[in-house]
């Protein structure tokens, strides 16, 4: 490792150590101020059966923090007058014995609702719970409850108090076939583990993208299953300090981050469809887990990115279809941990502005058996090293110009991608606007014809495929 790389690694390590020290003090203060009633969920989430945590990126060495503040529900009389004449759903819940099945007759009901005992609440027909545009509408603060066939609407619009439709603070609950509409935050899990969120529909309040609420948010919540949900016109799905969750067969449209992981390890994203969002799946300070069999399409705009990595390690990306995005993969100092890799296998990168953008000189990425077609640029790599830090093997490129004389399906010569005049817009972001302009295209042609500067090797695949493969992606299974 060069002296410059050693210095950079030491600087990153010292900065992270200082950040962790400050975070530990803040978390200690929050734990001392936490309400006594929030201790139950903390003890269950730390049961001996939990999988071991990775200290490098989930703050396992810091003191554990309880829910930051107690539940505060604004009373009915302070909410919008349109719901004052409706029957409060809380009255039906209070009258039901613990463990019962409460079949709610069709109609409109007034919030707020605070469920503090295990019940199965099932809507009969169209059941709407209206929060009257103030505060949070429905809070589940128990274990083993079920909500099914409900519509929850009309939260407040305050980010300071996390106004939302459904606030979940418990374990082993089921939220199924619930419609969340006209709410700031949709389903908000705080220290809530082993829950099932299935078949729900979540939409935020009509507002500018950055000030909408998150559709599904996990905070210190583990082993949850988020399955078959439809997320539209919200801000993000996020998982912070939350491990071993599964996101399966969800669909997200017209939001910002389809899923944003931060200090969240071993989460799996599988068989989802994310379309017309600014960012697909982003891994920040994460270890383990990955994404397979997903379609991520039309992640466009100034921040458009299908898959993103920031100091992430040991992640698999398999059998995905990454199409029509500004950047297919954007990776910054990833993999971060020594002796780890990020593995891209059998993915299709098609019709993107930049298929793969690597802004780290550390290497450690492995790209095998992927398909690259129709991209304006297949690879952009930062730095001026020899281009062999990352391993490329068995990929198919529509730009490959070699032959296969022995008919073994492998090109006779390596596929090498050099940056000629492209180095201008790669190193000067403002010049990217002119990337496909006639002037730069002509300059690039002249550079290739008679180089007057040294081209920069971006990738080398010693065994490129000669024939386009049929990959096990959404395209080949549809």
Over range 350-355, report the average pLDDT: 94
CA pair distance 279, 236, nearest whole angstrom: 9
472: which residues sit within 8 A by CB, 6+ positions away? 293, 319, 346
Q: Residue 210 above 50 pLDDT?
A: yes
Residue 410 forms part of a structural domain: no
> How does residue 39 score in pLDDT terms, banded at 50, 70 and 90?
very low
Neighbour-count burial for 121-156, b at 16+ CB within 10 Å, e otherwise: bbbeeebbbbbbbbbbbbbbbbbebbbbbbbbbbbb
Domain boundary among 235, 255, 275: 255
Q: What is the mean pLDDT of residues 117-136?
A: 96
- Binned at pLDDT 50, 70 and 90, residue 381 comes out as confident
**Are 83 and 214 in a shared domain?**
yes
Tell me if 327 is assigned to some domain.
no
Matching residue, tokens 């819940």 = 93
Residue 46 has pLDDT above 70, yes or no: no
Report whether pLDDT(473) > 60: no
Residue 167 and residue 224 in one domain: yes
Q: Which of 211, 236, 255 is the last residue of a domain?
A: 255
Instruction: Indicate whether 163 belongs to any domain.
Output: yes
The answer as to whether 284 is a domain residue is no
Are residues 220 and 85 both part of a single domain?
yes
Confidence of residue 37 (pLDDT cuts 50, 70, 90): very low
> Looking at the domain assignment, is residue 425 inside a domain?
no
Per-residue confidence (pLDDT) for residue 476, from 0 to 100? 42
Same domain, 99 and 191: yes
pLDDT of residue 458: 81
406-432 average pLDDT score:
74
Please give the share of the chain, as a percent, with pLDDT higher than 90.
61
Answer yes or no: do 33 and 181 share one domain.
no
Q: What pTM was estimated for this model as a whole?
A: 0.81
Contact 255, 215 (CB under 8 A): yes
The residue out of 21, 39, 70 marking a domain boundary is 70
pLDDT at 11 over 50: no
Which range is least confidently modeled, 108-112, 152-156, 325-329, 455-459? 455-459
Indicate the pLDDT class of residue 404, thresholds 50, 70 and 90. Answer: confident
How confident is the model over 94-100, as a mean pLDDT?
96
**Pair 40, 88 in one domain:** no
Using a pLDDT cut of 70, give the percent of the chain over it.
76
**pLDDT over 60 at 212, yes or no:** yes
In the prediction, which pLDDT does 441 show?
65
Q: Length of the chain, please?
A: 478
Both tokens of 99, joined, read 């463990």
pLDDT of residue 447: 60
- List the structure tokens of 250: 């969800």
Task: Give the model confidence (pLDDT) of 140-169 as tens digits.
Answer: 999 999 999 999 999 999 998 899 999 999
Are both 29 and 83 inside the same structural domain? no
Kindly state the average pLDDT of the residues 271-291.
97
| 214 in the same domain as 115 | yes
Number of domains in the chain: 2
Tell me the range of 102-111, 154-163, 456-465 where mean pLDDT is highest.
Answer: 102-111
Residue 281 forms part of a structural domain: no
Question: How wide is the angle at C-alpha 37 spanned by C-alphas 33 and 39, nearest 5°?
Answer: 75
Structural domain of 181? 78-255
Q: What is the 3-state secondary structure (H, E, C) of the chain?
A: CCHHHHHHHHHHHHHHHHHHHHHHHHHHHHHHHCCHHHHHHHHHHCCCCCCCCCCCCCCCCCCCCCCCCCCCCCCHHHCCHHHCCCEEHHHHHHHCCCCCEEEECCEEEECCEEECCCCEEEECCCEEEECCCCCCCEEECCCCCEEEEEEEECCCCCCCCCCEEEEECCCCCEEEEEEEEEECEEEEEECCCCCEEECCEEEECCCCHHHCCCCEEEECCCCCEEECCEEECCCEEEEECCCCCEEECCEEECCCEEEEEECCCCCEEECCEEECCCEEEEEECCECCEEECCEEECCCCCCCEEEEEECCECEEEECCEEECCCEEEEEECCCCCCCCCEEEECCEEECCCEEEEECCCCCCEEEECCEEECCCEEEEECCCCCCCCCEEECCEECCCCCCCCCCCCECCCCEEEEECCHHHHHHCHHHHHHCCCHHHHHHHHHHHHCCCCCCEEEEEECCCECCCCCCCCHHHHC
Q: Are residues 103 and 235 in the same domain?
A: yes
Q: Round the CA-based radius of gyration of the chain to a whole number and report it.
A: 25
Mean pLDDT of 120-141: 96
Domain match, 139 and 203 both: yes
Say what the pLDDT of residue 311 is.
95
What gap in Å lies between CA 369 and CA 396, rounded to an integer? 7
- Average pLDDT along the chain: 83
Contact criterion met (CB below 8 Å) for 289 and 317:
no
Is position 34 within any domain? Answer: yes
Residue 445: band (very low, low, confident or very high) from pLDDT cuts 50, 70, 90? low
CATH code for the domain in which residue 245 is found: 2.160.20.10
Q: Say if residue 251 is in the same domain as residue 169.
A: yes
Q: Identify the band that residue 42 occupies on the pLDDT scale cut at 50, 70 and 90.
A: very low
Instruction: Note whether 13 and 101 are same-domain residues.
Output: no
Does residue 310 lie in a domain region? Answer: no
């Amino acid at each position: 490792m060069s002296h410059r790389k050693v210095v950079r690694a030491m600087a990153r390590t010292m900065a992270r150590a200082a950040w962790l020290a400050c975070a530990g003090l803040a978390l200690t203060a929050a734990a001392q101020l936490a309400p006594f009633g929030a201790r139950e969920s903390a003890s269950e989430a730390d049961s001996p059966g939990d999988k071991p945590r990775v200290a490098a990126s989930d703050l396992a060495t810091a003191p554990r923090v309880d829910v930051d503040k107690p539940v505060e529900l604004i009373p009915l009389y302070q909410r919008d007058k349109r719901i004052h004449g409706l029957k409060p759903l809380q009255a039906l819940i209070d009258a039901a014995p613990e463990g019962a099945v409460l079949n709610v007759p069709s109609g409109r009901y007034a919030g707020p609702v605070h469920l503090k005992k295990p019940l199965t609440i099932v809507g009969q027909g169209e059941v709407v719970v209206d929060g009257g545009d103030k505060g949070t509408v429905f809070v589940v603060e128990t274990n083993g409850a079920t909500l099914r066939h409900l519509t929850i609407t009309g939260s407040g619009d305050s980010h300071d108090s996390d106004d939302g439709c459904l606030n979940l603070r418990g374990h082993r609950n089921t939220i199924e076939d619930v419609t969340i509409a006209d709410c700031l935050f949709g389903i908000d899990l705080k220290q809530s583990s082993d829950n099932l969120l299935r078949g729900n529909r979540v939409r935020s309040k009509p507002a500018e993208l950055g000030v909408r609420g998150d559709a599904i948010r996990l905070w210190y919540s583990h082993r949850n299953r988020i399955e078959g949900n439809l997320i539209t016109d919200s801000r993000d799905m996020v998982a912070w300090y939350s491990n071993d969750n599964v996101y399966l067969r969800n669909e997200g449209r017209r939001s910002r981050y389809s899923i944003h992981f931060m200090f969240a390890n071993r989460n799996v994203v599988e068989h989802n469809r994310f379309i017309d969002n600014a960012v697909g799946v982003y891994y920040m300070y994460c270890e383990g887990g990955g994404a397979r069999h997903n379609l991520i399409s039309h992640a466009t705009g100034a921040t458009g990115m299908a898959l993103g990595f920031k100091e992430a390690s040991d992640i698999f990306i398999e059998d995905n279809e990454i199409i029509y995005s500004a950047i297919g993969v954007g990776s910054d100092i990833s993999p971060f941990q020594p002796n780890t890799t990020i593995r891209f296998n059998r993915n299709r990168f098609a019709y993107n502005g930049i298929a793969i953008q690597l802004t780290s000189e550390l290497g450690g990425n492995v790209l095998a058996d992927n398909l690259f077609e129709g991209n304006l640029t297949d690879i952009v790599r930062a730095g001026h090293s020899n281009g062999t830090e990352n391993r490329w093997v068995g990929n198919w490129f529509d730009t490959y110009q070699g032959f296969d004389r022995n008919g073994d399906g492998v090109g006779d010569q390596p596929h090498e991608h050099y940056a000629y005049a492209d180095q201008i817009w790669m190193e000067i972001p403002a010049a990217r606007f002119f990337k496909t302009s006639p002037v730069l295209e002509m300059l690039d042609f002249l550079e290739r014809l008679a180089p007057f500067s040294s081209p920069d090797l971006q990738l080398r695949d010693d065994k490129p495929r000669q024939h386009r493969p049929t990959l096990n992606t959404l395209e080949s299974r549809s």
